[in-house]
Amino acid sequence: MMRTYAGHSTARASNELYRRNLQKGQTGLSVAFDLPTQTGYDPDDELARGEVGKVGVPIAHRGDMAALMDGIPLGEMNTSMTINATAAWLLALYIVTAEEHGVAQEELQGTTQNDIIKEFLARGTYAFPPAASMRLIADMIAYTVEHVPKWNPINICSYHLQEAGATPVQEIAYAMSNAIAVLDAVHERVAADIAAKDGSAGEPAQAALQRRMEQVFGRISFFVNAGVRFVEEHAKLRAMSILWEELGRERYGISDGRLLRFRYGVQVNSLGLTEAQPENNVQRIVLEALAVTLGRDARARAIQLPAWNEALGLPRPWDQQWSLRIQQVLAYETDVLEYPDIFEGSRVMDGLVAELLEGARAEMAVVAEHGGAVEAVGYMKSALVDSHRERIRRIESGELVVVGQNRFTESETSPLTDDAQGGILVVDPAVEAGEIEDVRRWRSERDQQALDAALGELAAVARDERDGENLMVATIAAARAGATTGEWAGTLREVFGSYRAPTGVGEAASLGGAEEIDELREQVSRLQEQLGRRPKILVGKPGLDGHSNGAEQIAVRARDSGMDVVYEGIRLTPSQIAASALQEGVHVIGLSILSGSHRQLIPAVITALREAGVTAPVVVGGIIPEQDIAPLREAGVAAVYTPKDFDITRIMRDIVELVRANGSSPNGSSANGSA
């Protein structure tokens, strides 16, 4: 199945894009949602500021879902939704939209990512604490297996683990440990359902439970990553297939070979895409696609390829067409799909697989010793931060060659990026105002009494006041009643509470004494003498962007250099950042944004800082197009770093020099005063 990951601006604009892509030969949909939708906020929420329609399509209510799927045959379409914390809600909206088109939920085909553990580890779009999140997942899986039997209710997602720095061994081990946690939670949910019904259709309870768990196991799919080391990546997929079958047979008693298949879809690596010489990303994408297509016994069922310019910003329709055509050339022009498994019997491949299996089993045992994947989130997070730091160290040193970035950097001007917008799609800032107006109009036109009843019932089910009723039932009822994304999530937040995932920064091991690090420490030591205390940096992530890998590495490197570090994780408002900067008395503020909301959020943070009396310099890093740098500097940003700035030690030197030149404490008093 061929897909492109797409969605932007509005439901109607995204619907037009989907229709065009399907006409070009795309065989399924892969929906990208914006960050407010992914994290459970309406467009007019304070945290949604600057984020509406930026990295995907905003879906605030069933009217938006109806517009998104207008004219698309839902009874025939296979729709993948990259959605996690709010997966139950988006599936409910999809079900209700299908009903309005005369399509029963039993006919729907597709996938919801619905993998919350990896959100705590790598991507950051969680909404509820771990236990409540796992309950939502278990309820949704139990519901779909019974009522939406063609739907894949979860993609165990190793993709973002690799994006966060995971080695192949870690990617395998953490994904499989995650799958165990999910299956065990569903087992508990299904057992309770069967016990409440006193068996199922006259079956003994244990037999009914085993039959249902076989159905569950057969609907679990994976979403994996494939990096440019495509031989090793293919071995990784073969190892995952072996482990998945082992788990099914030995832990869950599955014997049907069809249910034991390792079913996975893939998006090839985005971490390795570069802003420098971005045209090189095309061949990277092609080579990575070979990892998941060359060997028949471990071939992907569905592929979506990133666009060549994703390190620059949001891809245009033409860029997505290029990615689709790569898939079509592989499928229809090459002979890749014509032969039996070309790696069968290969001593090299078998040896690689055996090595990965040994490492993965050992790491899975460590996770199990921590109590399983949910309890081991802190351990896994710190391990990923360490692995990512090692990858960056190898790039900085030149040990890991990245063509065009740290070697062969001489280049001609690229015509691909030589336009007014730098070769990317820029979302009209007016989109957010339009979506705010739309959701407020939607709220004013609903049956408020029906809505209040539906949300009240949702809260009662969440509080376990309805004898174990499945949350999906109340969620679908809320969708029919016209609830918004923010109202659904807000109702559950009131019951479940909120949560802030571990950052992994404090637990990360210290960097060894490389010469450049020693020089940086000496520079920090001299600055400390000038200031009269250790220099302090606040690393902040304003808005809803949960991709925190870069911010974490800056925080770790600052700590290793001898600076005091304030890093509270993701999802902060400008006022929260300003209050923290004032209270902590920081000398410099580093902000990280990868979602495209920098034009709105960075000036808002600077305004909040100045209103609080904080005059410390502000530096910014993220996916920031060249044409946006000057406006940010005019707004008061002292320095801007983008993905081409891969040398973190050099960045830290710049920051130390910036603080030295600023020569004062945050409140503008003398340099040796205390904050």
State the pLDDT confidence band at 73, using cuts at 50, 70 and 90.
very high
> Residue 198: which pLDDT band, with cuts at 50, 70 and 90?
low
332 is an active site residue? no
Stretch 177-188: mean pLDDT? 97
**What pLDDT does residue 507 have?**
78
**Hey, what amino acid is at 255?**
S
Stretch 226-237: mean pLDDT: 94
133 pLDDT above the threshold of 80: yes
User: Are residues 83 and 178 located together in one domain of the fold?
Assistant: no
Q: Is residue 629 scored above 50 in pLDDT?
A: yes
Tell me the one-letter amino acid at 330.
L
- At a CB cut-off of 8 Å and minimum separation 6, what does 43 contact? 36, 52, 58, 60, 432, 435, 436, 438, 439
- Mean pLDDT (the chain) is 93
Nearest to 308 by CA among 330, 275, 339, 341: 275
Q: Is the pLDDT of residue 200 over 70?
A: no
d(CA 374, CA 69): 35
Domain assignment of residue 371, yes or no:
yes
CA-CA-CA-CA dihedral for 189, 194, 200, 206, to nearest 10: 90
Are residue 597 and residue 534 in the same domain, yes or no?
yes
| CA nearest neighbour of 586 among 546, 538, 633 | 538
Where does a domain end: 439, 468, 502?
Answer: 502
Question: What band does 428 get if pLDDT is binned at 50, 70 and 90?
Answer: confident
Collapsing DSSP to helix, strand or coil, 588 comes out as strand
160 is catalytic: yes
In sequence order, what are the residues at sequence separation of 6 or more whose Cβ sits closer than 8 angstroms to the Cβ of residue 266?
Answer: 159, 223, 224, 225, 226, 292, 300, 302, 303, 304
Handedness of CA 627, 630, 632, 635 (dihedral sign): negative
Range of the domain at 259: 156-395
Residue with tokens 């892969």: 30
DSSP string computed for 612-650: TT----EEEEES--HHHHHHHHHTT-SEEE-TT---HHH
| Cα gap 64→634, rounded to integer Å | 37
Out of 193, 386, 545, 560, pick the active-site residue: 545
pLDDT at 1: 84
Q: Is residue 645 assigned to a domain?
A: yes
Is 49 within the bounds of a domain? yes
- 535 shares its domain with 390: no
Question: Tokens 């939502």 belong to which residue?
Answer: 136
Q: Specify the DSSP class assigned to residue 77.
A: -
Q: What is the pLDDT of residue 467?
A: 84
Amino acid 311: pLDDT: 87
Q: Which position has the higher pLDDT, 355 or 199? A: 355
Q: What share of the chain is helix, strand, coil (3-state, %, to 5)?
A: 50, 10, 40
Domain identity same for 527 and 486: no
Give the full edge-to-edge strand order of the sheet including 29-32: 5-6, 29-32, 78-82, 109-112, 151-152
pLDDT band at 302 (very low <50, low <70, confident <90, very high): confident
Query: Which amino acid type is present at position 555?
Result: A
Instruction: Provide the whole-model pTM.
Output: 0.93
Last residue of a domain, one of 370, 395, 420: 395
Can you tell me the mean pLDDT for 91-99? 98
Return d(Cα 458, Cα 473) in angstroms, integer.
9
Does position 214 have pLDDT exceeding 90, yes or no?
A: yes
Residue 47 has pLDDT above 60, yes or no: yes
Quick one: 50 and 185 in the same domain?
A: no
Question: Which residue type, as a one-letter code, is found at position 640?
Answer: V
Active site residue 264: no
Active site residue 234: no
What is the rounded distance in angstroms from the CA atom of residue 548 to the CA atom of residue 503? 9
Of these ranges, 133-137, 303-307, 414-418, the one predicted with the greatest mean pLDDT is 133-137
- The answer as to whether 106 is a domain residue is yes
The answer to whether 6 and 31 have CB atoms below 8 angstroms apart is yes
Judged against a pLDDT cut of 60, whether residue 674 lies above it is answered with: no
Based on the fold, state whether residues 542 and 498 are members of the same structural domain. Answer: no
Q: Does residue 457 register a pLDDT over 60?
A: yes
By three-state DSSP, how is residue 657 classified? helix
Do the domain assignments include residue 37?
Answer: yes
pLDDT-derived band of residue 109, with 50, 70 and 90 as boundaries? Answer: very high
Q: Which candidate in 94, 126, 143, 159 is catalytic?
A: 159
pLDDT in the model for residue 197: 79
Q: What is the mean pLDDT of the segment spanning 399-424?
A: 87
Whether residues 577 and 653 share a domain: the answer is yes
Give the strand order in the sheet containing 536-540: 564-567, 536-540, 588-593, 618-622, 639-641
Same domain, 319 and 188: yes
pLDDT at residue 513 tops 70: no
**Structural tokens at position 338:** 């014509």
- CATH number of domain containing 171: 3.20.20.240
- Beta-bridged to residue 565, according to DSSP, are 537
8 is catalytic: no
- For residues 529 and 473, membership in a common domain is answered with no
List the catalytic residue out of 541, 567, 587, 641. 541
Percentage of residues of the chain with pLDDT beyond 90: 85
Q: Which residue has the higher pLDDT, 420 or 432?
A: 432
Residue 630: exposure state from Cβ atoms within 10 A (0-12, 13-18, ≥19): exposed
CA dist 447 → 40, 229, 481 (Å): 22, 56, 8
Average pLDDT over residues 162-169: 95
Residue 117 domain-assigned (yes or no): no
What Rg, from alpha-carbon coordinates, does the chain have?
25
The pLDDT tens digits for 247-260 are 999 999 999 999 99
Reduced to 3 states (helix: H, G, I; strand: E, B; else coil), residue 501 is coil
510, part of any domain: no
Given a cut of 80, whether residue 671 has pLDDT beyond it is no
Query: Are 523 and 489 within 8 A, CB to CB?
Result: no
**CA 634 distance to own-chain centroid:** 31
What pLDDT is attached to residue 669?
34
Q: Which of 8, 61, 118, 160 is catalytic?
A: 160
For residue 122, give Cα distances in angstroms to 164, 366, 501: 6, 19, 10
CA nearest 455: which of 431, 420, 479?
A: 479
Please report which confidence band the pLDDT of residue 416 belongs to, taking 50, 70 and 90 as the band edges: confident
Please state the rounded mean pLDDT for residues 69-97: 97
Which residues is 152 bridged to in the sheet? 111
pLDDT over 70 percentage in the chain: 97
Determine which one of 547, 567, 598, 641 is catalytic: 547
487 shares a domain with 355: no
Alpha helices in 69-125 (DSSP H): 87-100, 117-118
Same domain membership, residue 219 and residue 368? yes
Q: Do strands 2-3 and 154-157 pair parallel, antiparallel, or not at all (unpaired)?
A: unpaired
The distance between the two most distant Cα atoms of the chain, rounded to a whole number of Å, is: 81
Q: How many domains does the chain have?
A: 3
- Residues 54, 85 contacting (CB under 8 angstroms): no
Residue 541 annotated among the catalytic residues of the structure? yes
Is the per-residue pLDDT at 544 higher than 80? Answer: yes
CA proximity to 301, closest of 86, 1, 574? 1
Per-residue pLDDT band at 191 (split at 50, 70, 90): very high
Is the predicted pLDDT of residue 204 greater than 90, yes or no? no
CATH number at residue 627: 3.40.50.280
pLDDT at 673 over 50: no
Domain final residue, candidates 502, 535, 557: 502
Question: Residues 5, 41, 264, 567: which is the catalytic one?
Answer: 5
Residue 243: pLDDT band with limits 50, 70, 90: very high
Helices (H), ranges, 564-637: 574-584, 598-611, 626-634
Residue 368 falls within a domain, yes or no?
Answer: yes
Residues 163 and 196 sit within 8 Å (Cβ to Cβ): no
Q: Quick check: 410 pLDDT over 80?
A: yes
- Report the alpha-carbon distance of residue 406 to residue 640 in Å, rounded: 19
Same domain assignment for residues 100 and 161: no
Mean pLDDT in residue range 273-288: 94
Asked if residues 601 and 35 have their Cβ atoms less than 8 Å apart, the reply is no
